[in-house]
């Protein structure tokens, strides 16, 4: 009987030693509720730039024309340039 008692005592000791003490977890330093919108916007802009068809002549022409339009707009709406 004493062997049974020691075996059960050893089993109880093993159970106690195998139990993990709860670790004090610190709260997250990142407030995900406040940061998910800006983070998704940044990721979305990155994906748009990642899949831009830069090699396309139609796209390149559109970019060049947009710069030409901006140049025309600046020339037409600036009052400080002399007329001569």
Contact, 81 vs 75, CB < 8 A? yes
Q: Does 41 reside within a domain?
A: no
Domain that holds residue 67: 55-84
**Number of domain units in the chain:** 1
pLDDT digits (tens, 9 = 90+) for 38-80: 999 999 999 999 999 989 999 999 999 999 999 999 988 876 6
Q: At 5, is the pLDDT very low, low, confident or very high (cuts 50, 70, 90)?
A: low
Please tell me what DSSP assigns to residue 25: P
The pTM of the full predicted model, rounded to 2 decimals, is 0.46
């Amino acid at each position: 009987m004493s062997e049974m008692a020691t075996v059960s005592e050893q089993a109880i000791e093993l159970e106690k030693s195998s139990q993990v003490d709860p670790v004090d977890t610190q709260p997250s330093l990142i407030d995900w509720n406040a940061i998910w919108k800006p983070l998704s916007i940044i990721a979305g802009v990155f994906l748009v730039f990642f899949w831009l068809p830069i090699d396309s002549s139609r796209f390149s022409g559109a970019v060049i024309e947009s710069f030409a339009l901006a140049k025309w707009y600046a020339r037409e709406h600036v009052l400080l340039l002399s007329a001569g």
